[in-house]
Structure 1
Amino acid sequence: MVRLGPPAPVIDRSEVLEPEEPASEPVVAEPMEEASAPEEAKAPAPKKPHHPVFRPRKPEPAPPPPAPAPPPPAPAPLITTRLIDRATTRTLLDAEVQKPDGKVVGRAVDMVADANGKPVQIVVNLQGFMGVGDRKASFPWSAIRVNPAAKTAPITLNPSPAQLPVPDRPRPAPTPTAPQGGQLPVTPVQLPMLDATVERPNGAKVGRVVDVLIDGAAQPQAVVLDVSGLIQQRRTIAANWSALRFVTKDKELHPLIDLSEAQINASPPYAADRPIQAVSPAVAAASQAPAAPASAADSDKAAAVARNPK
């Protein structure tokens, strides 16, 4: 059983004194706000500043790399070369010479050319008995035939009786002497090619002819030149026959070729066991200047001639 305490006393609230509030300060009357102006008279509110929107730019593509500079033009060639087939050519020096019946009579030792570069004579060392009685004899170039494919005796000699050397020629019938005041035929200047010195137009030495290459038609195709210097090993090159020029100087025939030292050094060497590369000096093609226009007077004159050809 729960015991309850005595009842709480009843308090009369009226008897309780409430604390007095302190006197408040006098209230100051606020000034009355002026009547607001009509909305139309009000100044417009300042606009908010417009800040531009910066958008990041797309990165520009990298410029293409500069085109590589074109390679410099190749230098002009110093020489031109022509490949000669050994199967269709034959060296002249020491080539065996036979008669039409196949009997070997000697060996070729030289070729004589005229001022036009045309071969006119072949010089043959005729054999004697066991080397006794050997002698050199000249025959017209037209009296020979050449067979480059022959293993022996590539040159066949078939001269007519009038083309034989003087000791072997039958005695001709006496000919009448030239009339008084007339002139006997003059032999053109001729040049033995073997051991001839080939020069430049300025007189400088190019080399010495040590052989001539001829084809099956008995036409010279190239000369073999010894271009060795004083302190160089022996060096030979093949030069095209067409590159030679023949000029008369001091009443003698001289072979010329326009090969400088640089061109000679650029020439492939000649050897019996290598392909034949005959060289010529490279000549730049000269540009042709356009023809000058005809004047009015020339045109009128040409028109007059056309109207009246007489």
Structure 2
Amino acid sequence: MSGGFSRPAWRLLILAVFALFALSGCSLLWGPQQAPIVEATVMPVEPASAPVAASAPEPVETEAAEPEQSKKPKKPVVKPHKVEPPPPVVTAPPPPPPPPPPLIVLRTIERKEAHALLDSEVQKPDGKVVGRAVDLIADAGGKPREMVVNLQGFLGVGDRKVNFPWSAFRFTPAAKTAPITLNAAAIPANAAKTAAAGVQLPLIDATVERSNGAKVGRVIDVLIDANAQPQAVVLDVNGMVSTERRTIAANWSALRFVTKDKELHPLIDLSDAQINATPPYASDKPIRAVSPAPPPAPAPASAPAAAATSTAVSNARAAR
């Protein structure tokens, strides 16, 4: 043949290939052959460590391959501040309600400071008893004008009642003898004319009324002090508020005298409740003279009301 290998050469090539495969097959049968020693730089081999126990395969993060996204900054977690409740407000207890207004006003008069007029002995300056007092006559202003004295006759015969001016008497409430002294020399010459002037009222047995005309009681005595001034009247209030006989003393200053039909009428504003609240009068005990309690004072106006009143007054003045 022309060109290429000659046939004997071709055959030799085929034989060589088969021989090569045969040798390689023997190496597989007879075990591994020692690798040829190659001169090269030998790296130091570290001694084998103890076998490490195989750990569980870590999970493969699928997001590892994805591009890392920009993380938003986390807002700081603010824990709510615990608001403590304010301390309890300690309020003062409300003041006790004011006591009810008093019904009456009482004034104590000692026995040595005032003496009953009715049936008291009347003596002359020399100490001789000439009679007994039986009445007091007052004018419209409540001022004593005369005293009626029952002058004694012989053995009670010829007794007569005589009016003497009030200025002719001297009073000694604490005296053990006659508490009233009559000084006849002190009687003025015009005493009769003076006594007849104006409207006057015999006080003993006079009926005391309220302003509305209701009956309060009957005057049964008058208490006089050492200055010849009436301090109280003794009233019989029997049948006014109870069926029992009861007497009370009322302050002279609580009496008012008004003229009706040309006559004087004593007035005192004592209600049934006030009469019941008055201690009874007793001749052997200190005198407790009653007067009606004054009306309660008006409550002070509140601040808003006072301000409104002031504003209204200011506006009224400005309008003028």
TM (norm. structure 2) is 0.64
Distance, in Å, in 2 between the alignment partners of 1:37 and 1:296 is 88
Mapping of 1:118-157 within 5 angstroms?
118-157=143-182
Q: Which whole-Å CA distance do the structure 1 matches of 2:159 and 2:195 have between them?
A: 31
1:187 to partner: Cα distance: 2.4
CA shift for structure 1 position 68: 4.3
1:68-217 correspondence to structure 2 within 5 Å: 68-160=93-185, 163=188, 187-217=197-227
| 2:167–2:187 contact (8 Å) kept in structure 1 | no
Q: Deviations over 1:12-33 (max 9, x none)?
A: xxxxxxxxxxxxxxxxxxxxx9
Secondary structure of the 2:184 match is: coil
Deviations 1:159-180 (A, max 9, x none): 23855999xx9xxxxxxxxxxx
Whether the aligned pair in 2 keeps the contact of 1:198 and 1:255 (CA below 8 Å) is yes
**Shift of the alpha carbon at 1:267?**
1.2
> What's the RMSD between the two structures over aligned residues?
4.1
Query: Which position in structure 2 is the counterpart of 1:276?
Result: 287
Deviation for aligned residue 1:272: 1.3
State the shift of 1:149 in Å: 1.3
Instruction: Find 1:263's aligned residue among 274, 287, 290.
Output: 274
Larger Rg: 2
User: Kindly tell me: are residues 213 and 233 of structure 1, through their superposed partners in 2, closer, same or farther at Cα, counting changes over 3 Å?
Assistant: same
In structure 1, runs of 5+ residues without a counterpart are 1-32, 45-51, 170-183, 299-310
| Residues 39 and 265 (structure 1), Cα distance of their counterparts in 2 relative to 1, 3 Å cut | farther
Secondary structure in 1 matching 2:175: coil
How far residue 207 of structure 1 moved from its aligned partner, in angstroms, is 0.5
- The SS at the match of 2:273 is helix
> What is the rounded CA distance, in whole Å, between the counterparts of 1:186 and 1:71 in structure 2?
59
Q: Secondary structure at the match of 1:279?
A: strand
- Is the Cα–Cα contact under 8 Å of residues 137 and 165 in structure 1 kept in the other structure? no
The question of 1:245 aligning with 2:270 is answered no
Alpha-carbon displacement from aligned partner over 1:130-164 (angstroms, at most 9, x marks no partner): 11111111100000000111112010000238559
Q: Which moved more, 1:135-144 or 1:221-230?
A: 221-230
CA distance in 2 between counterparts of 1:236 and 1:80 reads 17
Compared CA separation, residues 296 and 132, structure 1 to 2 (3 A): same
CA distance in 2, matches of 1:296, 1:223: 56
Matched, 1:222 2:232: yes
Distance in 2, matches of 1:263 and 1:65, equals: 43
Gaps of 5+ in 2: 1-58, 71-77, 302-308
| Alpha-carbon distance in structure 2 between the residues aligned to 1:272 and 1:235 | 13
Counterparts of 1:165 and 1:95, CA distance in 2: 27
Residue type of the alignment partner of 2:289: A
Q: CA deviation at 1:70?
A: 3.1
Secondary structure in 1 matching 2:112? helix
Matching residue's letter, 1:97: V
Corresponding pairs, count: 244
Sort the Cα spacing of 1:97 and 1:162 in 2 relative to 1 into closer, same or farther, 3 A: closer
Quote how far apart the aligned CAs of 1:82 are.
1.1
TM-fit CA distance, 1:71: 2.3
